[in-house]
Structure 1
Amino acid sequence: MTRPLVLGLTGSIGMGKSTVAAMFEGLGVPVFDADREVRRMQGPGGALLQAIEAAFPGTTGAHGVDRPALGARVFGNAAALARLEAIVHPAVRAAREAFLLEHAGAPLVVFDIPLLFEKGGVDEVDKVLVVSAGPEVQRARVLARENMTPERFAEILALQLPDEEKRARADYLIDTGRPLAETESEVRALVEKLKSA
């Protein structure tokens, strides 16, 4: 049975991964967004609410997971984070497999996975695209986010593989520190290359 070429899309926080994923979608490439899937499963009536509430009482309600409350329970607590990941990761993997079946006839699909290298997802993709920008650009983008502090940014970076290591392990690299039109033309060229391969 033939299946699509699976391109893993990753990059550190603030590197423009969501923007690049949207460019792939705009070109008609099916994109599995791991973060979006988690938000759906943790939203109102989501499939993970019961298990999360059992493990972390008081962190869910009518609107789904109370993200700040859950974050406060797991951030900086390795055992609690591992407990949460044991609930979330198998569900995301199953959703990704269903997505792949749904798009089995496509020549190319993208798995948008923020922690592709850190959590071992690299074994589930054929090629890896890393999006990257200079550290000043990254810092400015991240600190412009609501409720972001320099301390929180530093904590998030500490959990992620350094950008230079991601770049070294990439099959393809797109610099998102340039004008959007340049990034878009790079994405378009990569889509054409991968589809023709």
Structure 2
Amino acid sequence: MKVWALTGGIGMGKSTATATLRRLRIPVFDADAAVHRLQGPGGAAVRPIEVAFPGTTRLTSLGRVVDREALRKRVLGDAPALKRLEAIVHPLVRQEEKRFLARARRRGARLAVLDIPLFFETGGEDRVDAVIVVTAPPAIQRARVLRRKGMTEERLNAILARQVPDALRRRRADHLIHTGLSRHHAQRAVRRLVASGGATP
């Protein structure tokens, strides 16, 4: 089974690419969704996050969950705190990823895709066969992200500061998907890439 990584900065168009992959019946591991599950009711990250960052979880009718806004405020702009958080969350996400790949292999999938926003930042290149990077011009990226509820220039800048620059991502990619032209253009590029089996043009 081939394993591809799909990555790109915030607002670069990963959701369009993953939706197209799923329509092609390719299993996709969503790292962000895994983090949400781990921080939700019964999630394995809830207790260690409360221990490391007291007061950043809350009790709900379904059980204790991470208060994501409280946690964001606690770690925003604090590099050591962010490192502590990543040391809790990243190994748990890797466990989820391994279970996903095992299920895909059991089902006979020929290709599985790992949608991991911080792929290069967490050193994942040695565990995939190819890296697909979604990219768009900076102006389009910022416009997309600033339309999101609760997003501010300050928050966006803090997120971008944590991420590998797009130019470096593009240099390290095996394949690029350009999402700045149109949704249809990006979808077609994904379909072409899958049909080629990841062959280099």
TM-score by length of 2: 0.92
For the Cα contact (< 8 Å) 2:16–2:183, is it kept in 1? Answer: no
Counterpart among 11, 25, 41 of residue 14 in structure 1: 11
Counterpart among 183, 187, 191 of residue 184 in structure 1: 187
For the Cα contact (< 8 Å) 1:108–1:195, is it kept in 2? Answer: no
Counterpart among 160, 164, 168 of residue 163 in structure 2: 160
The DSSP-based 3-state class of the residue aligned with 1:110 is: strand
Distance 1:70 1:123 in 2: 31
Distance 1:77 1:196 in 2: 42
Q: Aligned residue for 1:90?
A: 91
Distance 2:157 2:46 in 1: 29
Residue 133 of structure 2 is aligned to residue 136 of structure 1:
no
- Deviation per residue, 1:46-75 (Å, 9 max, x gap): 121111111111111234110010111111
For the Cα contact (< 8 Å) 1:59–1:65, is it kept in 2? Answer: yes
Residue 109 of structure 2 is aligned to residue 103 of structure 1:
no
Aligned residues: 194
- Please, which moves more after superposition, 54-63 or 95-104? 54-63
1:76–1:195 Cα change, 3 Å: closer
* Equivalent residue letter for 2:100: F
Distance 1:142 1:69 in 2: 21
For the Cα contact (< 8 Å) 2:76–2:158, is it kept in 1? Answer: no
Residue 26 of structure 2 is aligned to residue 29 of structure 1:
yes
Q: What is the Cα deviation at residue 78 of structure 1?
A: 1.4
The DSSP-based 3-state class of the residue aligned with 1:9 is: strand
* Equivalent residue letter for 1:142: V
